[in-house]
Amino acid sequence: MATPVTSPAFLSPITVQPSSKVTSRSLQCSNRSALHDGFARNSLSRAPRMSVSEVETPAKKTDAGRAVIVIGTRGSPLALAQANETKRRLIDAFPKLASDGAIEIKIIHTTGDMVLDKALADIGGKGLFTKEIDIAQLKGEIDIAVHSMKDVPTWLPDGIILPCMLPREDTRDVFISNKATCIEDLPDGSVIGSASLRRQSQILAKNPTLKVVNFRGNVQTRLRKLNEGKVDATLLALAGLSRMGMTEYATSIISHQEMLPAVAQGAIGITCREDDQTMLDFLAPLNHKETKTCVGCERSFLAKLDGSCRTPIAGQARIDEDGVLQFRGLVAKPDGSEMFETTRSGKPEDAIAIGTDAGIELKAKMGEDFFAV
């Protein structure tokens, strides 16, 4: 059963930050080499860097007037909350970075944020939320990048590594509606707003009479659309609401048994250039080993299935009280008419192999034409 959450009788209007919107275009995911267009890897122009041991008391900008650490992020309220959490953790680990100007947060607008009138699957996929940030990182315009891990492709561009993940938030989804307390209470034919094929497939498996419509934009935008009556309900990640202090908008929390989360849901990942030892030193104390282990298991499962936002795939790994890694994975048809699941358990140090093996099993079960329309 969904867990009820104390919430307002109605969803209060939200102040939405203005954002630019681009009309529909034919956009496709670029491969790794496209990230290097327009500049050469060996000709990056970067400001002088200080090592961790050289950070002053208090830290100041470099002689070139550049912050000690420049954090790259998308511009949504959730993305900025995550970037500021990263900044806070850096200052906690290195108090000398508390000085004004020592850490700069730089907003980078991605194609995925700007094209809001089409489904992600129709404009190229999740890589559209990271490509522009990756380019800025390889050019040396930013030092580290803060990402929602569920938006990060299973491959990383040459020259970029993912050495750090912050402690994971609650990975469950939440149900939000003015008309019902859970999915099961919605009348037949109700409209649910969601851009996630993972959520769509699991919703339609419960009740195929429900209609799931594309519902994109940041959290505030989606809540506003719900208030305006454009849909009867929507689903969001509890982690995002928690990070923005907005959990009161959840009508109920959906258990993992009812709705398996997205791979890497609730996790924040931080990338840097592979040759930047200074940033590696700054990020080392921030890394949460258990989160990185579990997300690594889930991403290896996704990679083996060749997953993208065109494929409804869910996966969740956790380490139980006995120190055993428990994994559950799922793949479904978008209409929820067919679904395959698998479970695995093993040693945390075998996380990648566990996820890979689970992916191999489901790939064999579903066959080559499973997603054919």
Catalytic machinery residues: 151
Q: Which of 233, 254, 236, 237 is nearest to 177 (CA)?
A: 233
3-state SS, the chain, equals CCEECCCCCCCCCCCCCCCCCECCCCCCCCCHHHHHCCCCHHHCCCCCCCCHHHCCCCCCCCCCCCCCEEEEECCCHHHHHHHHHHHHHHHHHCHHHHCCCCEEEEECCCHHHHECCCCHHHHCCHHHHCHHHHHHHHCCCCCEEEEEHHHCCCCCCCCEEEEEECCCCCCCEEEEECCCCCHHHCCCCCEEECCCHHHHHHHHHHCCCCEEECCCCCHHHHHHHHHCCCCCEEEEEHHHHHHCCCHHHCCEEECCCCCCCCCCCCCEEEEEECCCHHHHHHHHHHCCHHHHHHHHHHHHHHHHCCCCCCCCEEEEEEECCCCCEEEEEEEECCCCCCEEEEEEEECHHHHHHHHHHHHHHHHHHHCCCCCCC
What span, in angstroms and rounded, lies between the C-alpha atoms of 15 and 224? Answer: 9
Distances (CA, A) of 139 to 29, 61, 71, 209: 20, 20, 14, 49
| 8 A C-beta contact, residue 176 and residue 194 | no
Q: Hey, what amino acid is at 126?
A: K
